Amino acid sequence: MTHEADVLAAYPADLEIPAGLVAGTLAASNAEVPRVLVVLDDDPTGTQSVADLPVLTRWEVQDFAWAFGQGKPAVYVLTNTRSLDPAEAAARNEEVVRNALAAAGDPENADSTAAPSLRLGFVSRSDSTLRGHYPLEPDVISATVAEVSGEKTHGVVLVPAFPDAGRVTIGGVHYMRDAEGTLVPVSETEFAKDASFGFSTSVMADYIAEKSQGRFPADSVIVLDLNIIRAGASAQDPAISAKAIADAIEPATDSTPIVADIVTENDLRALALGLEEAERRGKKLLYRVGPPFVRGRIGQEVRAALTGEEAYEGNTPSEAGGLIVVGSHVGLTTRQLNVLTAEHSSARIIEIDVEKLLGAETDAKAHLDQTVAAVVDALHAGDVIVHTSRLLIKTDDPAESLRIARTVSAAVVDVVNRTLKTFPPRFVIAKGGITSSDVAAHGLEIRHAIVRGPMLPGIVSLWEPVDGPAKGIPYIVFAGNVGDDDSLAQVTRKLSTTF
């Protein structure tokens, strides 16, 4: 087994960089025309590393106008494309980019009637375990930007690392790190066997070659390893690292893939300074990243986990119990569910039977009617845990896998939406990427929200809906593959009055 400390011994030590240095550098760059990062989030869990930023589940021009009007350095758009087939994902990415550019206005046209002119950067936020529509999504974003603005993308920067959740990239290899510091190549985990987005290698250059079907050969990938990211470590001078990163990016042209090693928050901040320098020199970059990249890129401090009191701040909590909805089937989610149900003895547990959902339409409808009635009744007494049956129905056909996932998610959405409109819960926790996306956009009918911050350090996001029937109800976005076995119980304890 490989230990992180042994691998890191070959590289420079961490370079201390305060978030304020990054934020100050960006402020100087944005003094004349503000820049906003538009984060196309392929499921809602990308917000778990940031705080105090707007998030959209709809992306009409007027939605972007609202988001840009918040005056924040980044805006999240919940595209949920990881649940779509490639053609649908491509169309959605294009629509989001076109509408964002329209809402930002035309910097060359002083008479524009659109929102105040902004410079936009685009971030394709995806999974820290490498699942998702790659290279499709960056390709579509870059092509759309080029068509609308004439701006050519020189490089696509891949930063899948998520150190808070144990995902790190060292020497161009992407790993999962366990609690003891042991590194497991991500290709040796369950995530690499994903029915829709599986892959065979943890070496990022080889992953890019595999996913691009050879369009980007491994030897064409620029790797920003820790020797570059931490180039200023011995002198404790971030400017040295920024220059080294920008110099390494200099050859990028025509969407050249660029991979960055990341182990710590300081690495993310060093990368941010280097990317800013590269862009100052004229490089046009897109980003394909895991959750914490945006926090580092905009120079945001790491937000401490919210307390239960902070979760309800500014709102009057409902007297009802809370609703915990579990759709994810990864092993960690099942263990977290088991701990929660074992420890939260007062909670009512209600199962959605997936086999019934996939059976006759009348049987499926009757099952959902019974489920909604049971949930509403139980919320009068306390918290309710609604989960899909744990037997995962598998198929070798990726399209059929997505169809099954959508059927199940639609049922979960129906239960949440009908419950919300009958007896609104005190809080809602949704476990799983597709589950939490669909519950947000359709179950709770959230259109605009503010990401308040994390419920656990660096992971698990709280959204405050600012409109619609769920306005003011804390909504917790909980990825399927983060935390430890007790994490779901920890978050529920913060919010519940009966646990």
Please give the pLDDT value at position 390.
60
Asked if residues 53 and 75 have their Cβ atoms less than 8 Å apart, the reply is: yes
> Nearest 10 degrees: CA dihedral of 352, 354, 360, 362?
10
CA proximity to 229, closest of 17, 19, 24, 73: 17
- Beta-strand pair 119-125/256-260: unpaired
Among 39-53, 137-151, 325-339, the minimum mean pLDDT is found in 325-339
> Would the pTM of this model clear 0.85, i.e. be above it?
yes
Burial environment of residue 85 by CB neighbours within 10 A (0 to 12, 13 to 18, 19 or more): middle
Phi first, then psi, for residue 129 (nearest 5°) are -110, 20
Average pLDDT score, the chain: 93
348's enclosing H/E stretch is strand 348-352
Please give the pLDDT value at position 114.
46
CATH 3.40.980.20 placement within the chain: 308-495
CATH 3.40.50.10840 placement within the chain: 2-297
b/e string for 279-295 if b means 16 or more Cβ within 10 A? beeebbbbbbbbbbbbb
- Distance (Å, whole) CA 304 – CA 490: 15
Q: Please report where in the chains the tokens 């007062």 appear, as a residue.
A: 346
CA quadruple 114, 115, 118, 122: dihedral sign: negative
For residue 342, pLDDT over 80 is answered with: yes
For residue 110, pLDDT over 60 is answered with: no
96: left (phi over 0), alpha (psi -120 to 50) or beta: alpha
> What is the number of alpha carbons within 13 Å of residue 259 lying toward its C-beta?
26
The sheet with strand 2-3 has its strands ordered as 2-3, 182-185, 173-177, 167-170
152's enclosing H/E stretch is none
- pLDDT tens for residues 247-294? 999 999 999 999 999 999 999 999 999 999 999 999 999 999 999 999
Asked if residues 274 and 238 have their Cβ atoms less than 8 Å apart, the reply is: no
DSSP string of 394-413, one letter each residue: --S-HHHHHHHHHHHHHHHH
DSSP string of 131-146, one letter each residue: -S-TTHHHHHHHHHHH
Assigned fold of 308-495: Molybdenum Cofactor Biosythetic Enzyme; Chain A (3.40.980)
Please give the pLDDT value at position 401.
73
Please give the CATH superfamily to which domain 2-297 belongs: Putative sugar-binding, N-terminal domain (3.40.50.10840)
The angle subtended at Cα 246 by Cα 245 and Cα 249, nearest 5°, is 90
Both structure tokens of 388: 């899909």
Q: With bands split at pLDDT 50, 70 and 90, how would you rate the model's confidence at 54?
A: very high
93's enclosing H/E stretch is helix 86-104
Most confident of 28-37, 391-400, 444-453: 444-453
Q: Which residues are bridge partners to 177 per DSSP?
A: 183
CA proximity to 72, closest of 39, 94, 96: 39
- Distance (Å, whole) CA 341 – CA 344: 5
